[in-house]
Amino acid sequence: MGSFALMRILSCAVTTSNGSNVIARWDFRTSDITRGARHIRIEPMHGFDLILTLAGGLTAALALGYVTQRLGLSPIVGYLLAGTLVGPHTPGFVADTGLAEQLAEIGVVLLMFGVGLQFRIEELLAVRRIAVPGAIAQSAVAALLGAGIARAFGWEWPAAVVFGIALAVASTVVLIRVLSDNHDLHTPTGHIAVGWLVVEDLLTVIVLVLLPAFFGAGAASSSLGLTLSLTALKVAGLVVFAIAVGKRGIPWLLDLVAGTRSRELFTLAVLVLALGIAVGSAAVFGVSMALGAFLAGMIVGRSDYSLRAASEALPMRDAFAVLFFVSVGMLLDPRSIAETPMLIGATLMVVVIGKPLVAIIVVLLLRYPFGVALAVAVALAQIGEFSFILAALGKELGVLSNAAMNTIVAVSIVSIVMNPLLYRVVLPAERWVSSRPNLRRWLRATSGRDVVSPDAPGNKAFKHADEPAYRAVIVGYGPTGRTVARLLRDSGIRPTVIDLNINTVRQLREDGVTAVYGEASHRETLQEAGVANAGSLILSAAGMDKGEEIIRIARELNPAIHVLARTTHLRDRAALQKSGANRVYSGEGEVAIAFIEDILHRLGATPDQIDRERERVHEDLFGHASHLAMTDKDDIPVSA
């Protein structure tokens, strides 16, 4: 019996007719208990279905996600395989499919909320000349190719069209991971690919709105024009309502909750907004919850709370996103892969060959270098979460069959596995093309530019070249933080302040000081503040909550950063230094030194005598803790 088969059998206490307890084994699927030669039938414990589904699904996702991550693949592959492992098509523990689907709905809502939260129209406008026509052309060709394959295998036109559309959109998670791993996220390649994906996401949102209008209940009995008109009115009503409420109501609510300084209440408020607007969109306006969640994310994303909302809600979103991928994996029947290899193979060719070819042609025609065209094309050669959302909606509407879902999931797994491997071939392929004079001349004539590597020096134009030589990040803007910030500005060092008081942040921004609202112990907040490019990090408040975590994350983002921290008690110095602080100043110690200096000055001591005594007292107070520091980093320059 395999390890997961064993998970289906639990030891449990059973009370016999004479009142004695015996140890028996419970099979979740049959609800049978076996004790020796006796066979007992009991009713299943439905109260544990949710816990068992969560525990089984998340445990399998953790194990396989870890394995795939260690193999250099996206954890999404592990989550999908985990779903297949705990699904009804494989032996062993079987999670409750109905509960998994409901949990997956929450995952979809939070995923769409995250997409809206991170949507920046500025990113799209910066590359609109290539991203808009490229995404539209690639999506159209992919949808046509996918629909053609489906029709060739005997599917009806509605199923074929939805199937083709599901192949048109790439995974945001996979694309960002591949670009980041290859240091291309902040190059023209990365900006074009991200802008391209933003357009694909917007097109997908439109499709999510239109699918129920075409294939939902009552669509057949109404004229197409009337159905589309009603859908447009509903969407317009939702957008107007969201803008009207979002402009004042949501900031007012978040202001109110943020004023409590309660992290739990703020996280709860973000979740209520995401889920509440999503449910309200479906219940009141009759549109998909995904659209409502996307609009809610866009509204919050345009507020002062966007960064904190993203970082606070991120763990919850990630957990339910994992359950979403697990629920999708549960739909995969491994036997279908052997039964329909031609369908899966043809679909895979659309994703890894058809889509990239269209992207290369479009990018070259718009006169970009071949290296950029190849990198963008390969980065988009996969499908993921939006394909699953579209396919799940199609299945819910009765348009797509189980075979279609199996194909999409199988192709997604293979394409996600292949994507980072294919991206590593981009530079060798570019060098090979550069070594062929005839091919190079033809490409130069086509694009108007030479073959340029995606990581060539000229490709870094999107990076901030005007970054000041001296930058410091200050956590906290109390009396000490204000003084430090003022002195830094007077010395020509540019400060960036992180604070959890929204009024302070707004005032700083009005005064021309860069300020970030958010929890400093979150990686996203430190990244937004520019810790990776800063020379110094200053923890200005004594007894700061999670100070060690802040220093640890800052060191990961920027190992050379000079960290100054403040603490009330001497006993706290060692922990902060062990976390990576270069200098830790204690209120107890500094006050004691100030007292000694004052007394010696009144007794007529010379400045040299006072300096020597200060050094001796400083060594007595801080010397022992200093030995616990990681290294002597005092020589690290202020400028990174």
- Give the Å distances, CA to CA, from 548 to 97, 518, 640: 42, 17, 21
CB-count burial class (<10 Å; 0-12, 13-18, 19+) for 199: buried
Residue with tokens 């439905």: 46
Is the pLDDT at 432 greater than 90, yes or no? no
Q: Which of 408, 423, 438 is the last residue of a domain?
A: 423
Question: Is 284 a member of any domain?
Answer: yes
* DSSP string of 121-182, one letter each residue: HHHHHHTHHHHHHHHHHHHHHHHHHHHHHHHHTT--HHHHHHHHHHTS---HHHHHHHHHHT
Q: Are residues 408 and 490 in the same domain?
A: no
* CATH code for the domain in which residue 190 is found: 1.20.1530.20
Question: Is 52 a member of any domain?
Answer: no
Q: Are residues 163 and 225 in the same domain?
A: yes
Is the pLDDT at 70 greater than 80, yes or no? yes
The number of distinct structural domains making up the chain is: 3
Q: Range with the lowest mean pLDDT among 68-77, 275-284, 410-419, 429-438?
A: 429-438
Q: Are residues 404 and 493 in the same domain?
A: no
Is the pLDDT at 131 greater than 80, yes or no? yes
CA distance 289 to 280: 8
- Are 180 and 423 a contacting pair, CB within 8 Å? no
Is the pLDDT at 5 greater than 90, yes or no? no
* CATH code for the domain in which residue 529 is found: 3.40.50.720
Mean pLDDT score across all residues of the chain? 78
Question: Is 335 a member of any domain?
Answer: yes
Q: CB neighbours of 11 closer than 8 A, spacing ≥ 6?
A: 23, 24, 25
Question: Is 462 a member of any domain?
Answer: no
In this predicted structure, what is the pLDDT of residue 634?
41
Top mean pLDDT of 37-51, 346-360, 382-396 is at 346-360
- Which tokens hold the place of 149? 């394959």
Q: What is the mean pLDDT of residues 129-136?
A: 90
For 545-558, the pLDDT digits (tens) are 788 888 888 888 88
Count the neighbouring beta carbons within 10 Å of the beta carbon of residue 612.
12
Q: Are residues 506 and 590 in the same domain?
A: yes
Is the pLDDT at 507 greater than 70, yes or no? yes
Q: Are residues 488 and 620 in the same domain?
A: yes
Helix (H) or strand (E) holding 15: strand 9-15
pLDDT cut 70: percent of the chain above it: 82
Is the pLDDT at 350 greater than 80, yes or no? yes
**pLDDT grade for 29, boundaries at 50, 70 and 90:** very low
Cα distance between the two ends of the chain: 57
The answer to whether the Cα torsion of 268, 273, 278, 280 is positive or negative is: positive
**pLDDT grade for 625, boundaries at 50, 70 and 90:** very low
Is the pLDDT at 203 greater than 70, yes or no? yes
Q: What are phi and psi of 582, to 5 degrees?
A: -75, -45
Is the pLDDT at 227 greater than 80, yes or no? no
The larger pLDDT score, comparing residue 463 to residue 369, is at: 369
In this predicted structure, what is the pLDDT of residue 59?
93
**pLDDT grade for 223, boundaries at 50, 70 and 90:** low
In this predicted structure, what is the pLDDT of residue 443?
67
Q: Are residues 20 and 106 in the same domain?
A: no
DSSP β-ladder status, 494-499 and 471-475: parallel
In this predicted structure, what is the pLDDT of residue 456?
41
* DSSP string of 310-359, one letter each residue: HHHHHHHHHHHHHHHHHHHHHT--HHHHHH-HHHHHHHHHIIIIIHHHHH
Question: Is 142 a member of any domain?
Answer: yes
In this predicted structure, what is the pLDDT of residue 258?
85
For 135-187, the pLDDT digits (tens) are 999 999 999 999 999 999 999 998 999 999 999 989 877 887 788 778 787 67
**pLDDT grade for 356, boundaries at 50, 70 and 90:** very high
CA distance 349 to 145: 10
Q: Are residues 112 and 25 in the same domain?
A: no
Q: What are phi and psi of 345, to 5 degrees?
A: -65, -45
For 234-265, the pLDDT digits (tens) are 778 878 887 777 777 888 888 888 888 888 88
Question: Is 53 a member of any domain?
Answer: no
Q: Are residues 395 and 498 in the same domain?
A: no
Question: Is 295 a member of any domain?
Answer: yes
The larger pLDDT score, comparing residue 627 to residue 224, is at: 224
In this predicted structure, what is the pLDDT of residue 348?
94
pTM above 0.85, yes or no: no
Q: Are residues 518 and 577 in the same domain?
A: yes
Q: Which domain holds residue 38?
A: 3-44
**pLDDT grade for 621, boundaries at 50, 70 and 90:** low
Question: Is 334 a member of any domain?
Answer: yes
In this predicted structure, what is the pLDDT of residue 497?
92
DSSP β-ladder status, 21-27 and 9-15: antiparallel
Residue with tokens 């240091």: 183
CA distance 221 to 287: 19
Top mean pLDDT of 26-40, 374-388, 442-456 is at 374-388
- Are 174 and 419 a contacting pair, CB within 8 Å? yes
